[in-house]
Amino acid sequence: MKNSRGKDQLYAYVAAACDAAMNLGNHHDWIGYAAKPLALTPSVLWHAMCCVEDAEVKAIERYLEDRLLEYA
């Protein structure tokens, strides 16, 4: 259980950083902005986001679609 809880906290922290980044006006700045509070370089964050499993990609897509619908 400890491992699952830690993973949930990490996910929440990454999600918060990415969510804050998406409020920037220029989408080209998102990765760098999100990487900074995570103590990562933008290239490391980009690579990590590109290497997620299919199930995680679907979850990210659903999340992004939901956010887009909120602002539509």
Secondary structure of the chain: what % helix, strand, coil (to 5)?
Answer: 80, 0, 20
Helix, strand, or coil (residue 25): coil
For the chain, domain boundaries: 2-71
Q: What is the pLDDT of residue 68?
A: 78
The answer to whether 60 touches 68, Cβ cutoff 8 Å, is no
Read off the pLDDT of residues 37-69 as tens digits, 9 standing for 90 and up: 988 889 988 888 887 787 887 888 888 788 878
Q: What is the pLDDT of residue 48?
A: 82
Residues with Cβ < 8 Å from 21, sequence gap 6 or more?
29, 30, 31, 33, 34
CA distances for 11 relative to 18, 19, 52, angstroms: 10, 12, 13
Read off the pLDDT of residues 28-43 as tens digits, 9 standing for 90 and up: 999 999 999 988 889 9
Q: What is the pLDDT of residue 2?
A: 44
Please say if the pLDDT value at position 5 is more than 70: no
Which pLDDT band holds residue 1 (cuts at 50, 70, 90)? very low
